[in-house]
Amino acid sequence: MDTASSPDLTIDFRLSEDMELLKGSVRDFARSEILPFVMKYDEAQEFPAPIFRKMADLGFLGATIPPELEGAGLSPLHFVIIMEELSRVDPSIGLTLAAHSGLCLQHIALWGNADQQQKYVPDLATGRKIGSWCLTEPGSGSDASGMKTTAVADGDSYVLTGSKSFITNGSYASTYVVTAKTDQSKGNKGISAFIVERSMKGVNVGKKENKLGMRASDTVVMMFDEVRVPKANLIGREGEGFRQALVVLESGRIGIAALSVGLAQGALDAAAKYAKERQAFGKTLAEFQGIQFKLADMATQIAAARLLTYRAAQTKIQGEPVARLAAQAKLFASEVAQRAATEAVQIHGGYGFIKDFPVEKFYRDVKLLTIGEGTSEVLRMVIAKNLLQE
């Protein structure tokens, strides 16, 4: 065959040298700075402020933000690696990062004008301020366009009123991206997005949720009581908020896919270690084929989920449409993680039910992953709609 004129048939699945270095350093950070405190923050349901501060110092929060705005100037694939390695040790740290960087910061970086970016992005990218993203309401989650929060133009402000549920980082945030209806007659084209500051009168933190898992991540109801938001804080134009949110969720879902891969890998690591140590019937568990098959299936599914997640991030880097791939990566990886966490507990037997072993926490944390940023049902709807339109 004439190789000079033949097409390049290689696909390089390796991470670049700097990605491998990043992976190693996030791994070391997670083991030394997060692992010793995982259960402390989980039991207390406490936001891990010192860990968040250290992540900020290492540039994790503003990973994909350009250096001019005090970010690290890395790619979405680098962000995936950070998310994966943190979540391998503590998925609730991953969720905190997903809400701060993947949603709030991304929304302003993607859709904010130059003034908004200058004013808000550097503080969020460096962790001087914490961010939240407020879409879900008590009466509308999957059907986000059914939101009731309103923003009524009044002079040089909008008056924003309503409440938002399940808001990650809400108690600790200073900067909120909030969606509200500016025109009730236009359905989702009547939704706009605003940057709201904690210091604005009428911004109140409501009930703190007592959760099954992801307990170190803060989840609260946010209440907005006739908050006067300057018109300068409208992101983009009136009516663009819903579309902006959908695009933000595309990259957000890649982040949750990475979180899922990390959690699944953490569960597999723990299960394999335990299987090599635990004795039954005069052998280690790892010597039984029934256990080996479980580990083999977990490893295979995780490898597939990782590839799909990296491909979604790579597609985003290439600037190609990513809605379907992002939904597929999140759907597949979260369901792989759920199976991995279940099998990891099973391999631990009774000890998997006890808080001394990390799989107990993975099993609780994992349930959020098939719900947040699009339930598995909603993602199947997104994927089907996308493929039927082709």
Exactly one of 55, 105, 134, 151 binds ligand FAD (CB under 6 A); that residue is 134
Residue with tokens 């568990």: 285
Amino acid at residue number 379: L
Q: Minimum distance from CB of 255 to ligand FAD (Å)?
A: 12
Exactly one of 168, 233, 260, 265 binds ligand FAD (CB under 6 A); that residue is 168
Q: From CA 333, how far away is CA 315, in angstroms rounded? A: 17
**Which one of the listed residues 43, 238, 373, 377 is annotated catalytic?**
373
Residue 283 bridge partners (DSSP): 280
Q: Which is nearer to ligand FAD, 149 or 157 (CB)?
A: 149
Q: Considering only 74-82, 128-136, 234-242, 323-331, which stretch makes contact with ligand FAD by CB under 6 A?
A: 128-136
Positions in 185-214 near ligand FAD (CB under 6 A):
211, 214
Exactly one of 91, 141, 252, 255 binds ligand FAD (CB under 6 A); that residue is 141
Contact between 372 and ligand FAD by CB under 6 A: the answer reads yes
Contact between 375 and ligand FAD by CB under 6 A: the answer reads yes
Contact between 383 and ligand FAD by CB under 6 A: the answer reads no
* CA angle (221, 222, 223) in 5-degree steps: 120
Q: From CA 127, how far away is CA 176, in angstroms rounded? A: 14
Contact between 167 and ligand FAD by CB under 6 A: the answer reads yes
Contact between 166 and ligand FAD by CB under 6 A: the answer reads yes
Q: From CA 305, how far away is CA 332, in angstroms rounded? A: 6
- Contact present, 376 and 313 (Cβ < 8 Å): no
Q: From CA 103, how far away is CA 245, in angstroms rounded? A: 9
373 is catalytic: yes
The residue whose Cβ lies closest to ligand FAD is 141
Q: Considering only 14-22, 106-114, 134-142, 278-286, which stretch makes contact with ligand FAD by CB under 6 A?
A: 134-142
Angle subtended by helix axes 76-89 and 17-29, to nearest 10: 30
- Contact present, 19 and 76 (Cβ < 8 Å): no
Q: Minimum distance from CB of 210 to ligand FAD (Å)?
A: 11
Q: Which is nearer to ligand FAD, 167 or 344 (CB)?
A: 167
Exactly one of 243, 378, 383, 386 binds ligand FAD (CB under 6 A); that residue is 378
SS (H, E, C) 31-100: HHHHHHHHHHHHHHCCCCHHHHHHHHHCCCCCCCCCHHHCCCCCCHHHHHHHHHHHHHHCHHHHHHHHHH
Q: Considering only 18-26, 28-36, 345-353, 367-375, which stretch makes contact with ligand FAD by CB under 6 A?
A: 367-375
- Contact present, 150 and 160 (Cβ < 8 Å): yes
Exactly one of 51, 80, 81, 99 binds ligand FAD (CB under 6 A); that residue is 99
Q: Which residues sit at the interface with ligand FAD, rule CB under 6 A?
A: 99, 133-136, 141-142, 166-168, 211, 214, 219, 368, 371-373, 375, 377-378
Q: Which residues are designated catalytic? A: 373
